[in-house]
Each structure stands twice: as C-alpha cells, then as structure tokens.
Amino acid sequence: MKEDNKTKKQLVHELTELRSQNAALKKSESAERYRSLVENIRDVIYELDSQGVVLYISPAIRDQLGFDSDEIVGKNFVEFGHKDDLSSRTEWFTELRKGIEKPFEYRVLNKSGELKWARTKTRPIMEDGLFKGARGILIDVTEQRRMEEALRESEEKYRTVLEDMDDVFFEVDIKGNITFVNSSSCKMSGYSEEELLGMPFKKISAPDGIEKVMQYFGDIFLTGKTGKPFLWNLVKKNGEQGFFEIVASLIKDKQGNPTGFRGIGRDVTKRKWAEEELQQTLESLRKAVSVTIQVMVSAVEMRDPYTAGHQTRAADLARAIAAEMGFPQEKIDGILMAGSIHDIGKLSVPAEILTKSSKLTNIEFALIKEHAEKGHEMLKDVESPWPLSEMVYQHHERINGSGYPRNLKDGEIMMEARILAVADVVEAMASHRPYRASLGLSAALEEIEKNKGNLYDNDVADACLKLFREKGYMLK
C-alpha cells in the first residue's frame, strides 16, 4: 500500500515536471518566434531605459542608418539625431517620461553622415506610475518626406505663377460658389480674397449676362469638355463693369465625379471699348457715305429719272440675291449701297443721249459704256467700309470675258460685282426705256437662265431665279 502511494506521488511529480518543461518549451518557442519576427522586420524595433539609453535595437537599423546594433546599444538615442532637432527630441522624451505616448518625426544622420527622416511610435513602460523605459518602432520616412517636399515646392511654384500673372484665375464649386481666386482676381474686381471666397459667381456677373454665364458652365458640365473662349461681363465692387475673355474647365475627383470648375480670364475691357468706339466710327462713316450716296442719287435723278429708278430697283434686287446666298449683313449693306449708285458714271454722259427715244448710234453707245470707268473715277477716293468704286467698275463684266470696260473673266470678277451684274440685267430688261418698251420679266429671267455659267455666275443666277420663281419676289 505504501509502495502504491509512493508510485502515485512519483507519477504526479513526473507529470508536473513534464508540464513545466512543456510550458518552458512553448515559452521558448514563442520567444524564438517573436525574436525571429523582430529581427527580420524591415522597420527598426528598439528599447530604451529611463534615461534614453538604447538597451536593444533590431538588426534592421543597418539597412536604415548603416550602423550595426552593437554600435548603438548602450548609447543615448539623442546622439543620432540632427543637432537642430535636439530641443524637440528632448521635449518629446520628457513627455514620454510622463507616460504620454505620441508619434514623433525627427531628422537623423546615418553612418555616412547623410540626413534621413524617421518616424517613431513609442510606448512608455510604466510601473507603479514610474517611468522605467520605452519600447518602440522606428520607420524610415525619408522618401515620403522628399515627395512631400517636392509636392510643396510644386504647389508653391504653382501658387507663385498664379499670384504673379496678370490674368484672373478662379475656382468655383458645383453650385457656383467661389472657392479659390488669385491676387489678380481681387485686384480686377475690387473685392478682397475673404470677400470673394464663398461668394456666388453670378453675384459679380452683370445681371443681363447671368443666363449666358450659367449656360456656359452648364455646357461644360454636360460635355465634360473645356469651354470655348467666352466674354464675361464682370461687375466690380465699385459698380464699374469690366469684360474678361474666360476659358473654364470641369474639376473632377479621383472617382471622376464633377466637383466644380476652374477658369482663367484675360481683361479685354480696353479692347471691348475700342471695338465699340470703332463700331461707332464705322457707323458714323456709313452714315456719311450714305448721305454722300443720296446726294449722288439725287444728282442722277435730276438728269435722268429713268436711270435713277433703275438704280434703286436693281440695288434692292442685288440686296435680296445677296441675302438669299447667305452673305453677312455687312456685305449686303455694301452691295445695296453700290447698287444704289452703280450708274453714277452716267453723270458724265450728255443728258440728250440718256433720254434719246430712238436707237443709239455706235458712238453714243460707246459714250454710255464709259460710265462704269467714269463711276470708278468718281468713287475711288470716297472713304467707305466697302469697295464701292471696284463694284461699280466691274458691274458690266461677264464670266466669259465678253464684258466691259476691262474684259475681266471669271476669277477676276469680285462676287459683289457678279451680283450687281445679274440684278442690273434683270431690271433693265424688265423695265421701260426711252428708246424701247419693256421686254418683260419672263424674258429677263430666261436671259439669266440661258447664259448662267457663261455670262453670269451660276450661284448668283440660281439665287435670282429662286427669288422670282419660288419666293414671289417682285421688282418695286
């Protein structure tokens, strides 16, 4: 019985010892696993005592700073920082001693003396409220710092360019509220940056132009494309107006969602006023030319009422043909003006020849044919926005070169003169003359149709025929 009890005790002892050995083995395996992890991780693991002396530092320190672990262990961590960061490192360690844990970045020098940036995450070791040391991890953030510095330099360069340029630069959010402006925007508008930020873009736009501004940004939003140059009418803080030619584009986030607009604008106020002054000058010139033309027309009427009426009707037909062909209004005005005086040269022809009721002799007809050249001579020095003298000079020329006075051919005859030529023939044939009765409108249109492409320009002839046959035009 005693022997059995001894055996049992021995078994319990052996089992207890086995368990203890297994626990120690597991602890040893766990420690080895953690050691292996610590010594192979890329970031540096370290431990400090209460004075900041390095108790342990992982082998990764060699890759980061070029030191072996035994070159650092036993030394104070402050020795490896940049001298200019000593006060900030000391302040950080003082906070750490109080049990305050916070990330910290500082400059360190590697074994070669090269400056590096490190970020540390350190946890204080506290016992009964007393600081015993610290454990932490050291991460090399040099490349990240370089990228951030490059980004800062790029942003600074970008901002410098924006601030120094004369053009306005602005950004607005998707609702149209201003989110960024450069100094030129403030200078041009009279508002401070603080006043502009958050201000609706339409608040500084002229009331009668707000709809166009909204349409402009709306088109950019819908298409996603950069807008074409747009004339924006700015209302300044003092109430004055300025004109800016702006180009804007859409701002998108990383997911491609629209977040706002950015644009650049050039002050064209002086150019705008100059254009308006020029337009007023041109308008005054047109009025002056118009008065001059009316005086000439009146002079013709006094000598030959038939010719005067012919000019008026031919001019209106020429105007209608030009409009049918899609000419801009400015050219149409010039054609109408030239048509009103295209026979002005007949002032040099004796009145008895112009009003002769019998057939003209060859000499008399030759005198009349000179009226195109005489008209050119009368008008060549007249200040005008249009080439009036050349239109008058060419209105009897024909596509095949059979016209007069210079026998010009197709490419040599200006389009305005081609229009006057067709209008002149139609009106002349359709109207009564002292020396013959009217040949009729039908005969006049047949003449144009039969000789288009030969005597008369194809496009002009087609437009004239369409006016009479399809659109009901009538000679007045």
The contacts of residue 370 (CB under 8 Å, 6+ apart) are: 345, 348, 349, 405
Same domain, 52 and 91: yes
- Final residue belonging to a domain, choices 114, 133, 164: 164
Position 5 scores a pLDDT of: 53
Strand 44-49 to 130-140 pairing: antiparallel
Same domain, 69 and 143: yes
Q: Could you read off the pLDDT of 339-375 as tens digits, one per residue?
A: 988 888 887 777 677 767 677 778 877 777 888 898 8
The answer on pLDDT for 223 being more than 60 is yes
Same domain, 135 and 56: yes
Q: How far apart are CA 7 and CA 9, in angstroms?
A: 5
Specify if 295 maps to a domain.
yes
From the number of C-beta atoms within 10 Å of its C-beta (0-12, 13-18, 19+), residue 304 rates as buried
Specify if 8 maps to a domain.
no
Domain count, the chain: 3
Specify if 236 maps to a domain.
yes
Q: Within 10 A of 241 (CB to CB), how many other CB atoms are there?
A: 12
- Final residue belonging to a domain, choices 105, 134, 164: 164
Is residue 9 very low, low, confident or very high in pLDDT (cuts 50, 70, 90)?
low
Query: What CATH code is carried by the domain that includes residue 239?
Result: 3.30.450.20
Q: If you average pLDDT over each of 44-53, 229-238, 317-326, which comes out highest?
A: 317-326
Mean of the per-residue pLDDT values for the chain?
82
Q: What is the per-residue DSSP string for 50-67?
A: TTSBEEEE-TTHHHHHS-
Same domain, 52 and 120: yes
- Name the DSSP letter for residue 76: B
CA atoms within 13 Å, Cβ hemisphere of 370: 15
The answer on pLDDT for 449 being more than 70 is yes
The answer on pLDDT for 165 being more than 80 is no
Q: Could you read off the pLDDT of 174-186 as tens digits, one per residue?
A: 998 999 888 888 8
Position 323 scores a pLDDT of: 95
From the number of C-beta atoms within 10 Å of its C-beta (0-12, 13-18, 19+), residue 142 rates as middle
Specify if 183 maps to a domain.
yes
The answer on pLDDT for 29 being more than 50 is no
Report how far apart, in Å, the C-alpha atoms of 334 and of each of 106, 278, 318, 330, 421 are.
79, 18, 10, 6, 15
- Final residue belonging to a domain, choices 252, 267, 282: 267
Specify if 77 maps to a domain.
yes
Give CB contacts under 8 A, 24+ apart, made by 103-106: 105/141, 106/81, 106/82
Q: Domain limits at 158?
A: 37-164
Same domain, 153 and 170: no
Dihedral, CA of residue 211, residue 212, residue 216 and residue 221, to nearest 10 = 10
Q: Which of 288, 310, 307 is nearest to 299 (CA)?
A: 307
Same domain, 404 and 380: yes
Specify if 238 maps to a domain.
yes
Same domain, 214 and 108: no
Collapsed DSSP state (helix, strand, coil) of residue 224: coil
Same domain, 338 and 453: yes
Overall pTM surpassing 0.85 (yes/no): no
Q: 110-114, 317-321, 373-377, 432-436 — which is least confidently predicted?
A: 432-436
Residue with tokens 């006049």: 444
Specify if 406 maps to a domain.
yes
Specify if 5 maps to a domain.
no
Same domain, 335 and 464: yes
